[in-house]
Amino acid sequence: MQTLTVALGDRSYPIHIGVGLIHKTQLIAANLPQKKVAVITNATIAPLYLATLTSALKSGGIEVVSIVLPDGEAYKNWETLNRIFDALLTNRCERKTTLIALGGGVIGDLTGFAAAVYLRGVPYIQVPTTLLALVDSAVGGKTAINHPLGKNMVGAFYQPRAVIADTETLNTLPERELAAGIAETIKYGLIRDPEFFVWLEKNIARLLACEPDALAYAVERSCRNKAEIVALDEHEHGVRTLLNLGHTFGHAIEAGLGYGTWLHGEAVAAGMVLAAELSQQMGLISRQDVTRVTALLARAKLPVSAPELGVERYLDLMGHDKKVEGGKVRFVLLKSIGEAFVTDLVPDAALRDILVRRTVNA
């Protein structure tokens, strides 16, 4: 097991990474103010891991409330959030009852947001079961639900007590979900870690084959990057914004197609290609750099062309992006592979040209 720390003063917390950690309930018990938890998961993950986790917790004398939600991005909304609150209130969960998010990014975001607002704040722990959650969404305290006009538009920054990243759960991950998680690892290489990007170019086949050593390295390196960024900028006023590379386009894709049609990582992959193309058109990176980005994403079995939603539809959806300031959409672009920056100085003609040339009928 490896342990990293998200350094946030008295709200610092560990990220435990290893095999079989879902059985090591002492990692959870060490962060409980009360021997009662509510495990929140979905109908896909529950048959795989819920009994294992709850049995281990109960054997340690911990009372467990299980809350099983429907699976999918389409359920990341107020209605599902209220189902969590209904279950918590029915089972008399108190302020010292810890919520445990057992699942991917949707479950993690829903659980974190529920924890942030239930009884004005209760503790929670992330137990991610997808690669995307392990390397990105479970770390950093971003919690949210979606709105029809934009992804993750209603939420809160609320940090977990711990992240328990059991890489063994990736063995049951469908190929499409695995690829979606790889998109976020590639993002770290692009925004701040060029050596990791080169490693990914050399080892992408090993990741797709779920080789344990390769997965462990990619998860640890990604979590280390995320932890360092969050420690520097918890509330996304500066460097944390760079983590949104590809997301301005990607969130528009998800909302435009309907949540759940494309996985988040798939939309981000296409968005990163658009961002790279826009960077090249503005004279920031070379054509060779764009080719490297596109080639790696394609080898990871991710989409490298965005769906054709219409230029005006894209612009309207991006206008609801959380990075908008003073009515201007801010984009994360590349100065090189391994160096990103944020700007609102994107020529309208260049943006429109990219949206015409790099989108196809889905």
Residues in the chain: 362
Q: What is the pLDDT of residues 228-248, one digit of tens each?
A: 999 999 999 999 999 999 999
Check pLDDT > 70 for residue 208: yes
Contact 243, 272 (CB under 8 A): no
Q: What is the pLDDT of residues 152-198, one digit of tens each?
A: 999 999 999 999 999 999 999 999 999 999 999 999 999 999 999 99
Neighbours of 28 (CB within 10 A): 25
Check pLDDT > 90 for residue 324: no
> Tell me, what's the pLDDT at 350?
94
What are all long-range contacts of 276-284, with beta carbons under 8 Å and residues at least 24 apart? 276/334, 277/354, 277/357, 277/358, 278/331, 278/333, 278/346, 278/350, 278/351, 278/354, 279/333, 279/334, 279/335, 281/350, 281/353, 281/354, 282/333, 282/346, 282/347, 282/350, 284/333, 284/334, 284/335
> Tell me, what's the pLDDT at 167?
94
Q: What is the pLDDT of residues 134-161, one digit of tens each?
A: 999 999 999 999 998 888 999 999 999 9
Of 30, 33, 27, residue with least CA distance to 1: 27
Check pLDDT > 90 for residue 323: no
Q: Identify the band that residue 321 occupies on the pLDDT scale cut at 50, 70 and 90.
A: confident
Average pLDDT, the chain: 95
**pTM attached to this predicted model:** 0.93
Check pLDDT > 70 for residue 17: yes
Q: Identify the band that residue 360 occupies on the pLDDT scale cut at 50, 70 and 90.
A: confident
AA identity, residue 16: H
Strands, E assignment, 70-179: 98-103, 124-128, 142-147, 150-157, 162-166
Check pLDDT > 90 for residue 325: no
> Tell me, what's the pLDDT at 113?
98
Q: What is the pLDDT of residues 264-282, one digit of tens each?
A: 999 999 999 999 999 999 9
> Tell me, what's the pLDDT at 362?
56
> Tell me, what's the pLDDT at 142?
95
54: part of which helix (H) or strand (E)?
Answer: helix 51-59
Q: State the catalytic residues.
A: 120, 142, 184, 226, 236, 240, 244, 247, 251, 264
